[in-house]
Amino acid sequence: MLHDPRTEPRERRFAVLATVAIAGFALVAVGLLRLQVTDHAQYEELAKENRVRLEVLRAPRGAIYDRHGALLADSAPSFGIVFRPFPAESTRLARITHDPAWMTRVARLVQLDTLDVRQRVTFANRSGQTAVLRRDAPFDVRAAVEESRAELPGIEVQVEPIRHYPHGILAAHLLGYAGEITAEELDARTDQTYRMGDLIGRTGVERSYEDILRGHDGAEYVVVNAMGRRVSTLSEGPPLPPTPGHDLVLTLDLKVQQALENAMAKVDRGAAVALDPRDGGILALVSRPAYDPNEFSHGLSPERWQALSQGGTNPLLDRAIQGVYPPGSTFKVVTMTSALAHGVATPDTRQAPCLGGMNFGGRWFSCWDHRGHGSLDFLGALQKSCDVYFYQIGLKLGLPRLEETARGFGLGDRTGVDLPQERRGLVPSTAYYDRHRGVGRWGPGLMLNLAIGQGELLVTPLQLAVMLAEVTQNGRAVRPHIVEQVRGVREYRPARPVQSGVSASQGTWDAVKTALRMVVEGGTANLARVPGIGVAGKTGTSQNPHGKDHALFVCYAPTDHPEIVLAMVIENVGHGGTFAAPIAGQVLRELYVPPDTTRHTPLERRPEIPRVAVPDSAAEDSLAD
């Protein structure tokens, strides 16, 4: 130590460290002096007579508009019953609010479940934050609360914004709804930006754009007296104004949505999507049965929630993206495109004539029309939807090529639409059959079913719409999306398509489009015809183990410059041409045929839509995959 060459500079460095430490502690001492001597009187005053309370300044949730600026969702003021906790040292009052008997009384007064109220009050007492006991309280509850205020310290009526959907049931699944965050969800979140009583988007656009719609709550410090009445604001912490959420402009067109709602009004279960094929913007989306999202804003009774979430028909399910169905003959569009693109057939190739069915591997595969279609070329085969023709095409095509085309059209995977919980559907691959049936234990016979859209194939209505949109764009992939613009954010742009698209010659696309046009002009879908404009489409009737066939239909219009694609599935009703195509026809007529004087145009009127259908126990298995 005596001869350590480092000793001397070490002493200097010690001096530096010691100085830093002393300076730090001196800083604390100065801070203490300021608080406890200079400003002592002011703080003593605050501590003695009054308490400081934090009041939340709620940020209004962003509004949602259609593409022309029509309002679809916004926030409206309502009266809520809240509980403001007392500091624990405000002994008498705080003790009262810790008492279970008191909580029971409050629960009865606001007409809510005792356990629920107890939970909220306890949480508020622990955290010091105001608890919303009841949103949008009806007048009698408010009056009762006002009357017994003296006996119920801490209970108050407060203005609270609630979510309002002016069109009610219209586009309910697409908009979604916002509900109060649960204690479990609060625990699971790591970002700490939500508090008890906050709304959070649960489904639809409300959920997928939660971060953008939500905004940021502000707060101000309020000095209150012993009874919890506001005395003044605190000079110390200036109020932090809330930042409102961003408004969303959707690609949705209210006019199209209303037309689709009207056309689907009599449907019990099913879904329909309208898409702009040029950019993938969703023009309308309907799912049946539906619900009124306003119900969630007012707070649902447990029984009502049960009926909505667990009823046999599951009204909360957005069948357009969460329902999966066998595509049936609508899939023949894929088979035809694939066959033409891979040179398996040309538009005028004829196959062995249809005799109402064909023999394969010792089994009889029948055509939907048992009378038989005779000899057809490819265009005629699609027009008549001849199964026998497509059986033969499927055998020649083989699974890998058909699968590749199907995936190029976006089937078998999520389309990437900006809506939550989209289903994948299913396009089987060779690996899939090896896994499920065993290697070498399946043969080309499967191709017969796949070629006509039966078998394991499953699609969502949105996927069907995307498929047809790609046909109109000559194979260019489109990404379906619902948000057109986020107001206040300059560079919002929809993402790129998930799927690759389909590459095929112009001749292929022309042939497919001609055939689709023939389907409507003189084939299975003549009920979708609209005077004045060309419509092209394909019907489908998909067998399923849960009752009658599902009716499907996809189409686009006008044929010379396609600007709308429609896809729809009506569950368990029968033929696509009979039950689905007319719905498309009605929508297109409403949009494209100028209203005459005899027919009332429903554009200015709210659609008359039946309430949620009675739960039907024998349903929905087809939606499980």
Partner 1 sequence: MRISRLHMPAIDVPLAFAAIGLVVVGLLTVYSATSVPGAHHGLWTRQLAWAIGAFGAACLVASIPFRAYDTLAWPLYGISLLLLVLVLVMGTSALGAKRWLDLGPVKFQPSELAKIATVLVLARRFDVAKLTPSRAFPALLVVLVPFVLVAKEPDLGTALSFPAILVAMVFWAGLPAGNLLLGLSPVMNAVLFFVTGSLWWFVGLFALLVAFVRPKLPLLIAVLALNGALAYGLPHLWNHLADYQKRRIETFLNPGNDPYGAGYQIIQSKIAIGSGGVTGKGYLKGTQKALAFLPMRHTDFIYSVVGEELGLVGALTVVLLYALLILRGYRLALRARSGFASLMAVGLVTALFYHIMVNMLMTIGWAPVTGLPLPLLSYGGTALIVNGIQLGLLQNVALRRRES
Instruction: Using CB under 8 A, list all residues that contact partner 1.
Output: 1, 4, 6, 9-11, 13-14, 16-18, 21-22, 24-25, 27-29, 31-33, 35-37, 39-40, 42-44, 46-48, 51-52, 54, 56, 85, 87-91, 94-95, 98, 125-129, 187, 189-192, 195, 211-212, 216-219, 221, 234, 236-237, 240, 243, 489
CB of 41 to partner 1, least distance (A): 9
CA distance 275 to 253: 10
- Shortest Cβ distance from residue 238 to partner 1 (Å)? 10
Q: Which is nearer to partner 1, 55 or 413 (CB)?
A: 55
Q: How far is the CB of 349 from partner 1 (least distance, A)?
A: 55
**Distance between CA atoms of residues 203 and 316, nearest Å:** 9
- The nearer residue to partner 1, 5 or 438, going by C-beta atoms, is 5
> Minimum distance between the CB of residue 165 and partner 1, rounded to whole angstroms?
24
Residue (2 or 618) nearer to partner 1, CB: 2
Note the maximum CA span of the chain: 114
Phi first, then psi: give them for residue 498, nearest 5 degrees: -80, -45
Q: For the CB of residue 56, give the shortest distance to partner 1 in the complex, in Å.
A: 7
The DSSP string of 315-379 is TTS-HHHH--B--GGGGHHHHHHHHHHTTS--TT---SPBSSEEEETTEEEE-SSTT--BS--HH
Q: Do 382 and 513 form a contact (C-beta atoms < 8 A)?
A: no
Structure tokens at 46: 């605050």
Q: How far is the CB of 490 from partner 1 (least distance, A)?
A: 10
Please report how close the Cβ of residue 200 comes to partner 1 at its closest, in angstroms: 15
- 3-state SS of 455-523 is CCCEECHHHHHHHHHHHHCCCCCCCCECEEEECCCCCCCCCCCCCCCCCCCHHHHHHHHHHHHHHHHHC
Question: Is the distance from CB of 419 to CB of 430 less than 8 angstroms?
Answer: no
Separation between Cα atoms, residue 67 and residue 283, nearest integer Å: 9
Decide whether 194 or 592 has the Cβ nearer to partner 1: 194
d(CA 460, CA 424): 8
Cβ-based nearer residue to partner 1, 100 or 128: 128
- 585-to-24, 383, 448, 512 alpha-carbon distances in Å: 80, 17, 31, 21
Cβ-based nearer residue to partner 1, 34 or 149: 34
168 or 215: CB nearest partner 1:
215
Q: Quote the DSSP letter at residue 60.
A: P
Q: How far is the CB of 221 from partner 1 (least distance, A)?
A: 6
Q: Which is nearer to partner 1, 98 or 164 (CB)?
A: 98
CB of 312 to partner 1, least distance (A): 39
Nearer to partner 1, 125 or 257 (CB): 125
Q: What is the nearest approach in angstroms of partner 1 to the Cβ of residue 88?
A: 3
Written as one letter, the residue type at 243 is T
Give Cβ neighbours of residue 168 (< 8 Å, ≥ 6 apart): 292, 293, 294, 606
Q: Nearest Cα to 169, choosing from 316, 21, 355, 336?
A: 316
User: How many residues does the structure list for the chain?
Assistant: 625
In the complex with partner 1, the residue whose CB is nearer, 74 or 198, is: 198
Q: Residue 146: phi, psi to the nearest 5?
A: -60, -40
